[in-house]
Each structure stands twice: as structure tokens, then as C-alpha cells.
Amino acid sequence: MVDIKSIAPDAMDKSESDEKEHVWRVLGYGNPGTGKTHFGFTMPEPIVCVDTESKAHAITDKFDKEIYLFQVDNYTEASEALDQALDLLEAIRKDDGRVGTLMIDSMSNMWDWAQQRHMELAYPGREKGEVNFNSALSGGQSDWQTIKRLHNERFRERMINSDYNLYWTATSSEDYNAILSGQPDPPAKPNGEKDNQYRATELIHFIEGVDGKPAANLKKTAITKWRFGLLYYPTFDAMKEIITSIADAEKSDEPKTIGDLKDSFTQDVDIFDGDPDIIYQNKED
């Protein structure tokens, strides 16, 4: 019999992989006032928030949780805060075993700030509108390659390579590529670096529901095939309950209907095999 551990000591077998706890990496996007920041403070504690908008403190008093807040005004301050945030989460994990949450509110600002930082380094004294970011730099690298390195390698990947739950917020806008391709009424997309949504395990679109109530549509999860729509007053615990219940049903030998699943949830939601934003739009049409 092959001694797997002697050949590949770092390889996990299936049983070890199955027992590995899921680390939640959530990107929540939507218009202002739809509950993105509120959702972040429902994530597993301790919650360490890098606040790029200097307004998260306005709602922390609503939560009886362990929260640490960094308020920053530019790329350099945010990068320094990220170092301290990761150190703090690691110290707590080593002390009592809790795996907390690193929250960036918002990653849209970090994408803008990476561009501003590049302007400071490559074009000192010039305004952003005065420079064509497609121009080549020394060594054949474009401006955008350098900007992506600031945002992706020096900021985002430090979080991706950590052991903590992540929650990023982003503003939203219309998908202009979809509009140009002729897609009628395309759903909104998160602003910022375009690959952020692919580096998250869960993608949530925060919307204004009936009577202005905050709601959320699950656009993507790494755990299940099915997604949910119109989760009112969304929280992390509610999202987790729905996703894990669906995952358990998908793995079960006993078939369950959508009705069976919905009856097991604490909150009433719609369940879809597909993008809830598009399905709702098609229903309206």
C-alpha cells in the first residue's frame, strides 16, 4: 500500500478535506443604504473593520459584539491598517482559537485608491484625468498592470492567503459590457477590480425590497448549486443557515423538494437554480 504521507506530507485525503471548516469570504454589493455595512457586523467575531468611508462607527453601537475599527483616508493608511488587522486577528486566534472576520468597507474605494497611489508614484504632481492609463512604463509594463499589483498582490492577496473570514463591500453599477452586447436590463455588478467577485466564495447583491426593506440575493456560493433571493433584513447567521441547509440536502440520500427546504428555514426566501437577479427581472418582464 502506498504511504501517501511519506510522499506528500502536506496533502489532505478526502476525510480530512470533508472535515475542514469552511472559511467565509463574502463580497456584498449594492446601492447606498441597502444594509451592506450592517451585514458585515453580523459576521463571526471578533470583527476587525478597515473603514475607508469613515462612517462605519455610526452603527457599531447597534451590535453587542467584539469589534475593532480602523478609519483610513488613503491607500497607504489602508495598507498599514491591514497589517495591524491581520496581526490582531492572528493574536486572538492563537489566544483562544476564535477565527474572526476581516471586513473591508469598501473594496471599491481600494480600487480607486490603488489608482491614486499609482498616480502619486508614477506621475507626481499630475491629476488622474491628465494621464492615459494605457501608456507603457519602463520594462514594458502598463499602468494598469502596476495598479493591479497594488490592489491585488499587495492588498487583496494578503487577505486571501489568511485563515480568517472575509467580508468586502462594494458599490454597484450597471454592467455596461452587457448593455453594449444587447442584453436588455442587465443586472447590476460590483464596482472595483473586476476579479474581486471571483475571489469571494459568496457574492451577495443587497437590494431594496418591498416597502423599502433591505433584502439580499445570493448570486454565488462555493458550497451549493442552489441560490436564494429576497432574504429580508439579511444577516450572516441567516445566510449561513440557508446555505448549509441546502448543502446538507444536496448531499443527502433522501430527496427533498424546494418546499421541504423552505419549511426548514427560519426566514422565508425564494430558492433558485440560477441567478436570482435575472430570474426576478424575467418575471417582471
Q: Going residue by residue through the chain (285 aa), what tens digit of pLDDT does each one get?
A: 767 777 767 665 655 555 557 789 999 999 998 999 999 999 999 999 999 999 999 999 999 999 999 999 999 999 999 999 999 999 999 999 999 999 999 999 999 999 999 999 989 988 777 887 876 655 566 889 999 999 999 999 999 999 999 999 999 986 544 444 444 456 689 999 999 999 999 999 999 988 889 999 999 999 998 999 999 999 999 999 999 999 988 888 887 777 878 888 888 999 988 899 988 887 765
* DSSP helix/strand/coil, 273: coil
Specify the pairing of strand 25-30 against strand 202-208. parallel
User: What range does the domain containing 138 cover?
Assistant: 20-208
Task: Specify if 77 maps to a domain.
Answer: yes
Task: Specify if 257 maps to a domain.
Answer: no
| Cα–Cα dist 101/28, whole Å | 14
pTM above 0.85, yes or no: yes
Task: Specify if 227 maps to a domain.
Answer: no
CATH of the domain at 122: 3.40.50
Q: How many structural domains is the chain composed of?
A: 1
Task: Specify if 230 maps to a domain.
Answer: no
Task: Specify if 180 maps to a domain.
Answer: yes
Q: Which of 76, 74, 98 is nearest to 88 (CA)?
A: 98
Instruction: Enter the C-alpha cell of residue 108.
Output: 471599491
Task: Specify if 220 maps to a domain.
Answer: no
- Please enumerate, as own/partner, the contacts of 198-201 that have beta carbons within 8 Å and a separation of 24 or more: 199/25, 199/156, 199/160, 200/25, 200/26, 200/27, 200/166, 200/168, 201/22, 201/23, 201/24, 201/25, 201/26
Task: Specify if 272 maps to a domain.
Answer: no
Task: Specify if 253 maps to a domain.
Answer: no
Cβ atoms of residues 34 and 214 within 8 Å:
yes
DSSP E strands in the chain: the ranges are 25-30, 47-51, 67-71, 101-105, 165-170, 172-174, 188-190, 202-208, 214-221, 227-229, 231-232, 270-272
What distance, in Å, lies between the first and last C-alpha atoms of the chain? 61
